[in-house]
Amino acid sequence: MNNNIILKNTYIVIILLIIFIFPISIYATSRSELENQSQELDKKIQETHTEIQGVKSQMSKELTQINRLNIQITEYQSEVEDLENKITGLESEISEKNSFIAQKEADFAEKKAILEKRLVAIYEAGNTSYLDMLLSSKGLSDFISKYYLITELTNCDNELLSSIEEERAVIALERDELNSKKDQVEQAKNTAERKKNTLNLTISEKNVMVSSLSAEEKELEAQLEELEEDKRAITRELSKYASSGGSITPVAPSAAGYISPLAGKTKANITTGFYGYKGHTGADFACSSGTPVLAVKAGTVITSTALRRSNGSYRSYGEYVAINHHDGTITLYAHMLSGSRTVNQGDVVVQGQQIGQVGSTGNSTGPHLHFEVRVGTNATAVNPSQYLP
């Protein structure tokens, strides 16, 4: 690429930034206002070296709206998946309860049959009472023997009656819980159906808007949609690892003990910050290509891979690594230099260990590190700056 093309592209980026990101007020009259605006513009130009600003600086009003719809679609899809998982879990519990109740009913029927036989035996014995049996004893030894037998029979009858009543109470309780689970399933199915309808309407709305885009805008839209899909897939994958280790309450940010993923940099060096799970899900550090990327804390590598399209080109996060710190948090490092990852899935890393190098793979317009912190069993993205020094 010659200098004229580079210069031309620079002008285009600056013009787009002025139009779409930081419109300078024509009413600014004071020198301080102009200086402040100039500083803000310089900051925004620097931020074009990140994947979000790099794409959004080229977005029209329509494409911006479509991106919002893509984010909504991701949200609805996640909610539908959560509801479907809940339904599956409830149905599994219902199946287990049905089996449990069936076993309890079988036990109840068996004990009831024993009691009925006992009552029949007493009835067939006529009016003979326990006192008659004792008085008919032939001697002290016979009396003691019969007394012991009567005591055991009485205890057996009482235990049997208590056991039957206990089984009856357990069955009634389990049936109540079973009906409650069935109600929850029905409610979850109704909610999921409403969410699916909303999802389909949002997709239809987006498709109508996409049809009016230019070829260049459609290409950008495809990248944004691709990014949302990859983020959703990554979240699903990370949540599997997070939930498989049991329920762990995420460590408090102040007690996490993270170091910076880049030596010599702090959260003050973040060029693009976190602005919500539905938007930019991490923090970006613009820095030189090849800068070592460090594990912020000891843990186990759960993902070390590259996201590529069918033609081999990088997409969305590009080369990235995710580490489970076994404290309820997972960290993710994206857009690393091609071939620079030094760890593999299953590797145990120590704090400060190099795991790759800063690059610009995927949705990125310049060398930078995209850093994320995920917490809880759902691997929810949270603001990383609160964990960083």
Ranges of each domain in the chain = 3-49, 62-213, 248-387
Is pLDDT at 81 greater than 60 in this prediction?
yes
Q: State pLDDT tens for residues 99-143.
A: 887 887 787 777 667 666 765 665 555 444 545 555 555 655 655
pLDDT at 32: 56
Is pLDDT at 44 greater than 80 in this prediction?
no
pLDDT at 332: 97
% of the chain residues with pLDDT over 90: 30
> For residues 174 and 185, what is the distance between their CA atoms, to the nearest angstrom?
16
CATH 2.60.40 matches 62-213: no
248-387 shares the fold of 62-213: no
pLDDT at 27: 36
pLDDT at 269: 93
pLDDT at 340: 97
Question: Highest mean pLDDT range out of 30-44, 47-61, 230-244?
Answer: 230-244
% of the chain residues with pLDDT over 70: 69
Confidence of residue 12 (pLDDT cuts 50, 70, 90): very low
Is pLDDT at 293 greater than 50 in this prediction?
yes
Q: State pLDDT tens for residues 358-389.
A: 999 998 888 999 999 999 888 889 999 999 99
Structure tokens at 227: 């990014």
- Taking alpha carbons only, the member of 250, 249, 256 closest to residue 389 is 256
Report yes or no: 306 and 334 within 8 Å, Cβ to Cβ. no
> For residues 158 and 20, what is the distance between their CA atoms, to the nearest angstrom?
84
pLDDT at 305: 96
Confidence of residue 151 (pLDDT cuts 50, 70, 90): low
Q: State pLDDT tens for residues 177-200.
A: 888 888 888 898 888 889 888 888
Mean pLDDT of 204-225: 80
Q: State pLDDT tens for residues 152-162.
A: 555 556 666 67
Average pLDDT, the chain: 77
Fold of 248-387: Glucose Permease (Domain IIA) (2.70.70)
pLDDT at 149: 53
pLDDT at 161: 64
